[in-house]
Structure 1
């Protein structure tokens, strides 16, 4: 399955339907007084939709990416108009000001940070607009936080949820390669320190509410962190029994029992993020390319019919489906 304009139109419709939908809303917000009890649109004038802040950020990444890839599709003009009013200087300044609030040090760490960097990286590709320039101060603020966080995070967080260290660094290093070479070096050095000696991964997954593969998230980060020949050797030791269909857990898509439950619905995201990881890894390790593409397709086939539907998944799944379908070359 590949990205087509028909699929892109569907994803654009989904994202346009939720990035400006304020409620229901789940806040990551520390309140220090009654005055801090404020509605989402006041706290986050740019990213108040999509149920939570990080989903709104990567909803915007989805929209801008689709506008770039399909500039002539009907929704492209609507995306541009909405982005111009949403990603304005004053609203982005308010998002930046929020970070100075007492109790905001851990706000959206590290998942939301990484997605904001990824959004900025996409925004600068739209050379006909000022969105990238406007987003840069916020991106650099999160990059600074990430650098400080890595200095104190002795051990990686491997759980396949928003706290996953490897996934955040995978997105962040792409931004850092263009905007902060020192941070890029720090990310790659941290990846090697944390995961360089990983061997014989058992892949005890999925957890009941995981949307990321702990195993493949590490592999994908190492693919971004090591030269191609070194990665092939590392990957062979990390998953030495792939030719024997082991570990079996990575070969079988997760079963989603109730898509109205926001946590259980995470498992559709797991299938999509696995598909993305398998495709990326397969391009980097030719001897596993056929297997990796087959596994990517198997996981895509399990999840794609459910990208739209219940809002528990609809407010975020299209972003992961887009990652899986578009490939790193786009």
Structure 2
């Protein structure tokens, strides 16, 4: 079985999907705290930039997908539409509106940590584009989210290990890309220290509960990917040997069987397509981290290909998955 790579044709397909939903205001799922009737508002009134794609975080990583594709394929068919969208939507006024939302007293933990991680990931991919002009416009909001990581992580005594939006390893992993691209040594040191504190002593992971009924992240594999990204290679390899000591024998076995998706019109059940894609992403990055000749490489690479082949045909179709799955497919294809 051979997994596909990211071609310009597939990039244009993914871009067309995202362009169809990042400014689609409805249907919309708002996680909004009211302090009074004056806080009532439509998605676009509350979030003048990230109002589409069903929810805030999906809109953010829809923009990330478009930025990432434009960076890789500046001459792709959809490049003009992406540039026009960014010019129209990433404006100082829209960013100020998003900052104002985060300044609300009830928004202290808004989109923590998943949306935070994706916002920094978007910022990192905007930096190389158009001499950084879109990244510069977004920077006031980027600074808010960066500072929230800096304030929150020292207070977070424990990690969150579920396979949904609250997973802390995934957020650290995304934020690390921004810290590196921006040259933010303080943020990178905090991310690394937090990962060590939360996960550094973990070993013999049984992968209990995977998959559960609505997860889109493997808490086991995302933790491994987080440590791979943040630790020095030798330190990571020693940790990985202890964390998943029998992965070369396809154990824990539950990690190697793609999740079954019984109803893609159900938003929670459709999360399982994302689980398969995020597993493929992690398996691919972990394969590349192992030494040449390591027998685990073939086992893990095969698992990546199997999960990707299972999920990739379902990136588009029902809006419950279509508004976000291409982002996870892109992570897997570019790992």
Q: TM class by shorter-chain length? A: over 0.9
Are the equivalent residues in 1 in contact too, given 2:120–2:146 (CA < 8 A)? yes
Does residue 241 of structure 2 align to residue 236 of structure 1?
Answer: yes
1:12 and 1:186 map into 2 onto residues whose CA distance is 34
Alignment size in residue pairs: 327
3-state DSSP class of the match of 1:127? helix
- 1:16-165 residue pairs with structure 2 within 5 A? 16-128=19-131, 130-165=133-168
2:142 and 2:167 map into 1 onto residues whose CA distance is 20
TM-score (norm 2): 0.96
1:16 and 1:178 map into 2 onto residues whose CA distance is 26
Alpha-carbon RMSD: 1.0
Worse overlay, 100-109 or 313-322:
100-109
- 1:257-268 residue pairs with structure 2 within 5 A? 257-268=262-273
Shift in Å at residue 94 of structure 1? 0.9
| Matched residue, 1:294 | 302
Shift in Å at residue 136 of structure 1? 1.2
Are the equivalent residues in 1 in contact too, given 2:207–2:254 (CA < 8 A)? yes
| Matched residue, 2:283 | 278
1:195 and 1:66 map into 2 onto residues whose CA distance is 32
Worse overlay, 271-280 or 121-130:
121-130
- Over residues 65-88 of structure 1, what are the superposed CA-to-partner deviations in whole Å (9 max), with x where a residue is unaligned? 111211112210000001101001
Does residue 334 of structure 2 align to residue 326 of structure 1?
Answer: yes
Are the equivalent residues in 1 in contact too, given 2:248–2:300 (CA < 8 A)? no
2:117 and 2:249 map into 1 onto residues whose CA distance is 35
Q: Which runs of 5+ in 2 are unaligned?
A: none
Shift in Å at residue 289 of structure 1? 2.2
Instruction: Name which of 192, 198, 203 aligns with 1:199.
Output: 203
1:199 and 1:129 map into 2 onto residues whose CA distance is 42
